[in-house]
A and B are shown apart, each in its own frame.
Chain A
Amino acid sequence: MATTEIYRYLTVDETTEVGLDPEGYLVDLTQWTPDVARALAGEEGISLDEAHWEVIEVLRDFYARYEMAPAMRPLVKAVGRSLGPDKGRSIHLMRLFPGSPAKVAARLAGLPKPSHCL
Protein backbone atom coordinates (compact mmCIF):
# COMPACT_ATOMS: atom_id res chain seq x y z
CA MET A 1 0.00 0.00 0.00
CA ALA A 2 1.31 3.41 -0.87
CA THR A 3 1.27 5.82 2.00
CA THR A 4 -0.73 8.93 1.38
CA GLU A 5 1.30 11.31 3.48
CA ILE A 6 4.13 13.27 1.89
CA TYR A 7 7.22 13.22 4.08
CA ARG A 8 9.58 15.11 1.79
CA TYR A 9 9.94 16.27 -1.79
CA LEU A 10 12.36 15.02 -4.41
CA THR A 11 13.58 17.51 -6.97
CA VAL A 12 13.37 15.94 -10.43
CA ASP A 13 14.27 19.00 -12.48
CA GLU A 14 13.90 22.79 -12.25
CA THR A 15 10.12 22.65 -12.57
CA THR A 16 9.23 19.29 -11.06
CA GLU A 17 9.07 17.98 -7.52
CA VAL A 18 7.45 14.73 -6.44
CA GLY A 19 6.29 13.76 -2.95
CA LEU A 20 7.95 10.86 -1.19
CA ASP A 21 6.91 8.86 1.86
CA PRO A 22 9.25 8.44 4.85
CA GLU A 23 10.96 5.48 3.18
CA GLY A 24 11.49 7.30 -0.08
CA TYR A 25 8.72 5.70 -2.12
CA LEU A 26 6.53 7.81 -4.38
CA VAL A 27 3.31 8.89 -2.69
CA ASP A 28 1.50 9.32 -6.01
CA LEU A 29 2.58 6.41 -8.17
CA THR A 30 1.20 8.06 -11.31
CA GLN A 31 3.91 10.73 -11.04
CA TRP A 32 6.58 8.24 -12.05
CA THR A 33 8.62 9.07 -15.14
CA PRO A 34 12.07 7.93 -16.24
CA ASP A 35 13.34 11.28 -14.93
CA VAL A 36 11.88 10.50 -11.52
CA ALA A 37 13.69 7.15 -11.63
CA ARG A 38 16.96 8.92 -12.43
CA ALA A 39 16.49 11.37 -9.58
CA LEU A 40 15.69 8.55 -7.13
CA ALA A 41 18.67 6.58 -8.40
CA GLY A 42 20.85 9.64 -7.87
CA GLU A 43 19.92 9.54 -4.18
CA GLU A 44 21.11 5.95 -4.03
CA GLY A 45 24.31 6.81 -5.88
CA ILE A 46 23.20 4.68 -8.81
CA SER A 47 23.63 5.78 -12.40
CA LEU A 48 20.98 4.01 -14.47
CA ASP A 49 22.14 2.10 -17.53
CA GLU A 50 20.43 -0.38 -19.84
CA ALA A 51 20.76 -3.23 -17.30
CA HIS A 52 18.87 -1.18 -14.71
CA TRP A 53 16.16 -0.03 -17.08
CA GLU A 54 15.24 -3.51 -18.22
CA VAL A 55 14.77 -4.59 -14.59
CA ILE A 56 12.70 -1.49 -13.89
CA GLU A 57 10.52 -2.44 -16.81
CA VAL A 58 10.09 -5.99 -15.49
CA LEU A 59 9.03 -4.52 -12.15
CA ARG A 60 6.54 -2.16 -13.69
CA ASP A 61 5.04 -5.02 -15.70
CA PHE A 62 4.87 -7.13 -12.54
CA TYR A 63 2.99 -4.41 -10.70
CA ALA A 64 0.62 -3.77 -13.59
CA ARG A 65 -0.27 -7.44 -13.67
CA TYR A 66 -0.32 -8.42 -10.00
CA GLU A 67 -0.95 -5.10 -8.22
CA MET A 68 1.86 -5.75 -5.77
CA ALA A 69 5.58 -5.12 -5.68
CA PRO A 70 7.47 -8.43 -5.56
CA ALA A 71 9.70 -9.67 -2.76
CA MET A 72 13.19 -10.83 -3.76
CA ARG A 73 12.37 -14.39 -4.82
CA PRO A 74 9.52 -13.53 -7.18
CA LEU A 75 11.56 -10.61 -8.51
CA VAL A 76 14.40 -12.96 -9.39
CA LYS A 77 11.91 -15.29 -11.04
CA ALA A 78 10.23 -12.51 -13.02
CA VAL A 79 13.57 -11.12 -14.20
CA GLY A 80 14.70 -14.61 -15.20
CA ARG A 81 11.57 -15.16 -17.23
CA SER A 82 11.76 -11.84 -19.04
CA LEU A 83 15.47 -11.32 -19.42
CA GLY A 84 16.87 -14.82 -19.34
CA PRO A 85 18.42 -17.07 -16.69
CA ASP A 86 21.73 -15.18 -16.60
CA LYS A 87 19.98 -12.11 -15.29
CA GLY A 88 17.45 -13.94 -13.15
CA ARG A 89 19.91 -14.31 -10.32
CA SER A 90 20.13 -12.46 -7.02
CA ILE A 91 23.78 -11.58 -7.60
CA HIS A 92 22.91 -9.69 -10.78
CA LEU A 93 20.22 -7.72 -8.96
CA MET A 94 22.52 -7.11 -5.99
CA ARG A 95 25.07 -5.53 -8.29
CA LEU A 96 22.50 -3.31 -9.96
CA PHE A 97 20.55 -2.33 -6.85
CA PRO A 98 22.88 -2.77 -3.88
CA GLY A 99 21.55 -3.28 -0.39
CA SER A 100 18.07 -4.65 -0.69
CA PRO A 101 17.39 -5.08 -4.43
CA ALA A 102 13.64 -5.75 -4.13
CA LYS A 103 13.14 -2.55 -2.15
CA VAL A 104 15.58 -0.33 -4.01
CA ALA A 105 14.42 -1.43 -7.45
CA ALA A 106 10.73 -1.05 -6.48
CA ARG A 107 11.46 2.47 -5.27
CA LEU A 108 13.18 3.45 -8.50
CA ALA A 109 10.46 1.81 -10.58
CA GLY A 110 7.80 3.88 -8.87
CA LEU A 111 6.16 0.97 -7.09
CA PRO A 112 4.98 0.79 -3.49
CA LYS A 113 7.29 -0.85 -0.99
CA PRO A 114 7.24 -4.65 -1.36
CA SER A 115 5.03 -5.83 1.47
CA HIS A 116 6.31 -9.37 1.85
CA CYS A 117 9.94 -8.84 2.72
CA LEU A 118 11.69 -7.46 5.76
Chain B
Amino acid sequence: MSNAEMPDGDLLVILRHGPHGTSWLREGLDAALVGAAFGRRVALLFMGEGVLALLDGQGAGALGQKGTSPTLEMLEMYDIETLYVEGPAMARYGIAQQDLLLAPVALEDTVIAELVERHALILTF
Protein backbone atom coordinates (compact mmCIF):
# COMPACT_ATOMS: atom_id res chain seq x y z
CA MET B 1 0.00 0.00 0.00
CA SER B 2 1.44 3.34 -0.98
CA ASN B 3 1.20 6.34 1.29
CA ALA B 4 -1.00 8.21 -1.13
CA GLU B 5 -3.78 5.69 -0.60
CA MET B 6 -3.81 6.27 3.12
CA PRO B 7 -6.66 8.55 4.08
CA ASP B 8 -6.20 11.28 6.63
CA GLY B 9 -8.38 10.63 9.64
CA ASP B 10 -9.45 12.35 12.83
CA LEU B 11 -8.64 9.61 15.29
CA LEU B 12 -6.28 6.65 15.14
CA VAL B 13 -6.73 4.09 17.90
CA ILE B 14 -3.75 1.77 18.28
CA LEU B 15 -4.69 -1.55 19.88
CA ARG B 16 -1.62 -3.26 21.31
CA HIS B 17 -3.13 -5.82 23.65
CA GLY B 18 -4.84 -9.11 23.03
CA PRO B 19 -8.28 -10.09 24.28
CA HIS B 20 -9.06 -11.25 27.82
CA GLY B 21 -5.68 -10.75 29.54
CA THR B 22 -6.30 -7.09 30.35
CA SER B 23 -9.07 -4.60 29.71
CA TRP B 24 -6.93 -2.51 27.34
CA LEU B 25 -8.40 -3.96 24.16
CA ARG B 26 -11.97 -3.36 25.30
CA GLU B 27 -11.14 0.15 26.46
CA GLY B 28 -9.50 0.91 23.14
CA LEU B 29 -12.49 -0.35 21.18
CA ASP B 30 -14.77 1.69 23.44
CA ALA B 31 -12.74 4.82 22.73
CA ALA B 32 -13.03 4.13 19.00
CA LEU B 33 -16.80 3.64 19.26
CA VAL B 34 -17.24 6.86 21.21
CA GLY B 35 -15.22 8.75 18.61
CA ALA B 36 -17.31 7.28 15.81
CA ALA B 37 -20.59 7.91 17.63
CA PHE B 38 -19.62 11.59 17.68
CA GLY B 39 -18.97 11.61 13.97
CA ARG B 40 -15.19 11.40 13.96
CA ARG B 41 -13.44 9.45 11.20
CA VAL B 42 -11.84 6.64 13.15
CA ALA B 43 -9.12 4.23 12.04
CA LEU B 44 -7.81 1.27 13.99
CA LEU B 45 -4.30 -0.13 13.98
CA PHE B 46 -3.81 -3.58 15.51
CA MET B 47 -0.21 -3.77 16.60
CA GLY B 48 1.88 -6.44 18.32
CA GLU B 49 -0.23 -8.64 20.54
CA GLY B 50 -3.24 -6.66 19.35
CA VAL B 51 -3.34 -8.78 16.16
CA LEU B 52 -4.82 -11.57 18.28
CA ALA B 53 -7.90 -9.38 18.75
CA LEU B 54 -8.68 -9.99 15.07
CA LEU B 55 -8.50 -13.75 15.21
CA ASP B 56 -11.58 -15.62 14.08
CA GLY B 57 -13.15 -18.10 16.47
CA GLN B 58 -12.73 -16.20 19.76
CA GLY B 59 -15.23 -16.74 22.52
CA ALA B 60 -16.26 -15.46 25.89
CA GLY B 61 -13.82 -15.69 28.83
CA ALA B 62 -13.72 -18.59 31.25
CA LEU B 63 -15.75 -16.55 33.72
CA GLY B 64 -18.23 -15.46 31.07
CA GLN B 65 -16.50 -12.17 30.21
CA LYS B 66 -17.64 -10.74 26.91
CA GLY B 67 -15.74 -11.81 23.83
CA THR B 68 -14.33 -9.37 21.29
CA SER B 69 -15.92 -10.76 18.14
CA PRO B 70 -19.38 -9.14 18.49
CA THR B 71 -17.73 -5.75 18.94
CA LEU B 72 -15.46 -6.25 15.94
CA GLU B 73 -18.45 -7.20 13.82
CA MET B 74 -20.24 -4.09 15.07
CA LEU B 75 -17.49 -1.70 13.92
CA GLU B 76 -19.00 -1.33 10.46
CA MET B 77 -22.28 -0.19 12.03
CA TYR B 78 -20.28 2.68 13.54
CA ASP B 79 -18.66 3.29 10.13
CA ILE B 80 -15.28 2.23 11.47
CA GLU B 81 -13.99 0.55 8.36
CA THR B 82 -10.44 1.81 8.09
CA LEU B 83 -8.51 -1.02 9.65
CA TYR B 84 -4.79 -1.68 9.66
CA VAL B 85 -2.72 -4.46 11.10
CA GLU B 86 1.03 -4.63 11.72
CA GLY B 87 2.25 -7.11 9.11
CA PRO B 88 5.37 -8.26 11.00
CA ALA B 89 3.24 -8.98 14.09
CA MET B 90 1.00 -11.23 12.02
CA ALA B 91 4.08 -13.10 10.85
CA ARG B 92 5.36 -13.36 14.42
CA TYR B 93 2.11 -14.95 15.57
CA GLY B 94 1.85 -17.11 12.46
CA ILE B 95 -1.46 -15.57 11.47
CA ALA B 96 -2.59 -15.17 7.87
CA GLN B 97 -5.30 -12.88 6.47
CA GLN B 98 -7.74 -15.79 6.15
CA ASP B 99 -7.47 -16.39 9.92
CA LEU B 100 -8.89 -12.96 10.63
CA LEU B 101 -12.44 -11.95 11.36
CA LEU B 102 -12.13 -8.66 9.45
CA ALA B 103 -10.05 -7.64 6.47
CA PRO B 104 -7.50 -5.09 7.69
CA VAL B 105 -4.74 -3.74 5.48
CA ALA B 106 -1.39 -5.19 6.53
CA LEU B 107 1.28 -2.52 6.99
CA GLU B 108 5.04 -2.84 7.05
CA ASP B 109 6.82 -1.21 10.00
CA THR B 110 8.14 1.50 7.73
CA VAL B 111 4.63 2.78 6.93
CA ILE B 112 3.32 2.92 10.47
CA ALA B 113 5.05 6.22 11.28
CA GLU B 114 3.37 7.74 8.22
CA LEU B 115 -0.04 6.46 9.31
CA VAL B 116 0.44 7.94 12.77
CA GLU B 117 1.56 11.24 11.28
CA ARG B 118 -1.65 11.54 9.25
CA HIS B 119 -4.00 11.47 12.20
CA ALA B 120 -4.90 14.48 14.28
CA LEU B 121 -5.37 12.41 17.42
CA ILE B 122 -3.76 9.10 18.35
CA LEU B 123 -4.71 6.97 21.31
CA THR B 124 -2.62 3.96 22.30
CA PHE B 125 -4.17 1.08 24.22
Contacts and interface: CB of A to CB of B under 8 A. Distances in A.
Is there direct touching of A and B in the complex, by C-beta distance under 8 Å? Answer: yes
Interface of A: 62, 65-68, 70-74, 77-78, 115-117
B69 to A, nearest CB: 9
Contacts of A74: 37, 74, 77-78
Contacts of A65: 70, 73-74
Contacts of B33: 71, 115-116
- Name the residue in B30, B36, B39, B74 with the highest tally of chain A Cβ atoms < 10 Å from its Cβ: B74
29 contacts: A62-B77, A65-B70, A65-B73, A65-B74, A66-B70, A66-B71, A66-B73, A67-B70, A67-B71, A68-B71, A68-B74, A71-B33, A72-B37, A73-B36, A73-B37, A73-B78, A73-B79, A74-B74, A74-B77, A74-B78, A77-B77, A78-B77, A115-B30, A115-B33, A116-B30, A116-B33, A116-B34, A116-B37, A117-B37
Given A65-B70, A116-B37, A117-B37, A70 B77 contact: yes
Nearest 6 A/B pairs, CB to CB: A71-B37, A74-B77, A66-B74, A116-B37, A67-B70, A116-B33
Contacts of B70: 65-68
Contacts of A73: 36-37, 39, 78-79
Interface size class for chain B?
A: 10 to 19
A73 B34 CA distance: 11
- Identify the interface centre among B33, B34, B66, B73: most chain A CB within 10 Å of its CB: B33
Interface in B36-73: 36-37, 39, 66, 70-71, 73
A66 to B, nearest CB: 4
B79 to A, nearest CB: 7
Nearest to B74: A66
B35 to A, nearest CB: 9
A65 B39 CA distance: 23
A40 B79 CA distance: 31
B13 to A, nearest CB: 13
B77 A66 contact: yes
